Amino acid sequence: MQTQECSNHNCAPAKEPAMRVADLLTEHSLQLRLETPTGPKRLGQEIVRCAPTEHLDPTPFLDANVLLLTSGIGMNFTEQSIWDGYVERLARVPVSALAFAVGTAHATLPRGLVTACTSHDLPLLEVPTTVPLLKIDQHVENMLQAERIQLLNRGWKLADECARLASRGADIATLLATVYAALEVPIAVYDAFDSLIAQYPETVTWRTGPARTAQPDVLNVTLPMGLSNPCQLAVRLHRSAAEAESLLAPVTSILALHLNRSVAVDAGKHQDMLRFVNRCVAWSESTRSDVANAFHELGLSRRAESALVVADMSGEHAAASWKLRVALHDAFHDVRVAELDERLIAVAQFPREGFPEAAEQLLRTRPDLPLVFRGPTRTIDELRIALVHALDLVRHTDVPVVAPALGLSAVVAAAAGRGARESAEHFLAPLIAHDGQRTTELLPTLRAWLRNDAQPSRTCDELFIHRNSLSYRLRRIEQILGLSLDTLDGKATCLMALRLVELEPY
């Protein structure tokens, strides 16, 4: 599946948060002076807000990465151990820096405070008497507010770009690539079963199932889909979660609408799809005209070629439903989906690239999913035959497969509605009567022999009988049915009769 990188200038990579400790030192109006030998990494610590306080232990009221503002009122002690305890508590929060105003309670910076801050690698900023602490608080708040506005604008521009791409038919992978270009971090979408629906880049490994939530470096954002079990957006965090959440807030609605698109289309035509499927498999009750009318109600074109997908959604495979639905809508312009008896059945038209490419895309959706793809079909009759065949084939596969153009199960089902079943019952009746009167097992033997492709050794192993016993039973079957099992015609006749008698409604 091809994805498009966003080249729009609105989707430039997100910048780092603007407010850092080092930024305070370069602001000449604040006249701050660094009094500790602090390295560049520590000075690069972000500031989330200011915290003016004169408490000796303000830590219960502090958030991580706040800039602590104090005049040291009440700090009339000289013991180094008290200064160490005070700074150690601040470093444990941790605060980004300590701005200490001189002139109010202390003419100069307390020597014990400088020593403690140096020991605990906490940047200590001296605030001169000419600069009130309120000015620092206002400056930091203004800078942070400007950054929040800038971040919000980038978020809305990202959402606008994604909305533009979605309106042009972009798939979910393209939208994720656009978000990736803005955040420069891996991103993925999970369904309600913690199954991965889509991701970008494709090379990144994501956890699924219960282990998914145990990833400390991943931000999970619930998509506003209006569902009791919505999908979630997962982002690998290489920067603050708050910044990522601000950037993602507007675009989550676009992603939710894009995912809901398939659900809304599928839900609107669900009953029509059920009616179409039921008429297709009811050979004896539904005429070709009935099937054609049901197909017309789907709103699909009778002149266009149709692809068919049948997937087993039972048990653990139920988690793949969302991913398969999204893949169908990404591969085709027109899709109709219904779920019946733990099977997902879809009819699709107008592939976005081509039928072979669509088949490849769907077959790799889940390598362990029992799925049958059949396409393209050109007529209503061919589509009906293909549906019956796919419903039978999906019960005998545990991986995605492409169905052949014709299958015996479909031919049997088609013949069943035209008196063939009654003829098959009449044909096998002498064999059934013989087994009932003489307690033999000729019918089970015939069934096992054909199931094992007429291979004597495999049949004997299954029935636990000698090869001579098998030969005797086969000759007796020939006598009762009046045909030769040595010919292809005889084998085919018996196989068709058994399939018709044992035919089950889908």
* Residue 371 CB neighbour total at 10 angstroms: 27
Q: What is the pLDDT of residues 43-82, one digit of tens each?
A: 999 898 999 999 989 999 899 999 999 999 989 888 999 9
Residues 378, 287 share a domain: yes
Percent of the chain with pLDDT over 90: 48
User: What is the model's pLDDT at position 413?
Assistant: 64
Residues 179, 74 share a domain: no
Residues 230, 250 share a domain: yes
Residues 389, 305 share a domain: yes
Last residue of a domain, one of 385, 406, 427: 406
SS3 readout for 424-442: HHHHHHHHHHHHHHHCCCH
User: What is the model's pLDDT at position 474?
Assistant: 95
* Tokens standing for residue 214: 């145990």
Mean of the per-residue pLDDT values for the chain? 86
Q: What is the CATH number of the domain that holds 489?
A: 1.10.10.2840
Residues 480, 424 share a domain: yes
| Domain presence at residue 184 | yes
0.75 exceeded by the pTM?
Answer: no
User: What is the model's pLDDT at position 116?
Assistant: 95
| Domain presence at residue 147 | no
Residues 6+ apart with CB under 8 A from 399: 367, 368, 369, 370, 371
* Burial tier of 251 (Cβ tally within 10 Å: 0-12, 13-18, 19+): buried
* Residue 264 CB neighbour total at 10 angstroms: 11
Percent of the chain with pLDDT over 70: 90
Q: How many domains, in total, are found in the chain?
A: 4
Last residue of a domain, one of 236, 260, 284: 260
Q: Bridge partners of 371? A: 311, 400
| Domain presence at residue 232 | yes
Q: What is the pLDDT of residues 398-446, one digit of tens each?
A: 999 998 877 776 677 666 655 667 778 888 999 999 999 998 999 999 9
| Domain presence at residue 15 | no
Picking from 292, 296, 300, the residue whose alpha carbon sits closest to that of residue 380 is 292
CB 31 within 8 A of CB 130: yes
Sign of the alpha-carbon torsion through 20, 25, 26, 30: positive
Residues 387, 320 share a domain: yes
| Domain presence at residue 10 | no
| Domain presence at residue 223 | yes
Picking from 392, 390, 418, the residue whose alpha carbon sits closest to that of residue 404 is 390
Residues 318, 396 share a domain: yes
* Residue 42 CB neighbour total at 10 angstroms: 15
Query: Stretch 485-496: mean pLDDT, rounded?
Result: 89
- C-alpha 502/C-alpha 287 separation (Å) is 22
CB 46 within 8 A of CB 20: yes
| Domain presence at residue 346 | yes
What residues make up the domain containing 175? Answer: 154-260
* Tokens standing for residue 430: 């002498």
DSSP designation for 158: H
* Tokens standing for residue 449: 């022999």
Output the DSSP codes for 111-145: HHHHHHHHHTT--EEEEPTTS-HHHHHHHHHHHHH
Give the model's confidence band at 505: pLDDT under 50 very low, under 70 low, under 90 confident, else very high. very low
Answer with the residue of higher pLDDT: 353 or 14: 353
Q: What is the CATH number of the domain that holds 248?
A: 3.30.450.40
Residues 168, 114 share a domain: no
User: What is the model's pLDDT at position 504?
Assistant: 56
Residues 444, 397 share a domain: no
Q: Rounded to the nearest 5°, which phi and psi values hold at 231?
A: -75, 165
Please give the C-alpha separations between residue 103 and each of 53, 110, 128, 132, in angstroms, as whole numbers: 16, 12, 7, 10
Q: What is the CATH number of the domain that holds 359?
A: 3.30.70.2730
| Domain presence at residue 284 | yes
Q: What is the pLDDT of residues 241-298, one digit of tens each?
A: 777 888 888 988 888 887 776 665 566 677 889 999 999 888 778 888 999 999 999 9
Answer with the residue of higher pLDDT: 424 or 179: 179
* Tokens standing for residue 196: 């991965």
User: What is the model's pLDDT at position 6?
Assistant: 38
By mean pLDDT, which of 27-31, 182-186, 253-257, 413-417 is the weakest?
413-417
Last residue of a domain, one of 214, 242, 260: 260
Residues 395, 487 share a domain: no
User: What is the model's pLDDT at position 80?
Assistant: 94
Q: Cα 108 to the chain's mean position, in Å? A: 60
Picking from 101, 97, 82, the residue whose alpha carbon sits closest to that of residue 38 is 97
Picking from 497, 505, 504, the residue whose alpha carbon sits closest to that of residue 422 is 497
Residues 400, 278 share a domain: yes
Residues 496, 465 share a domain: yes
Q: Rounded to the nearest 5°, which phi and psi values hold at 207?
A: -80, 155
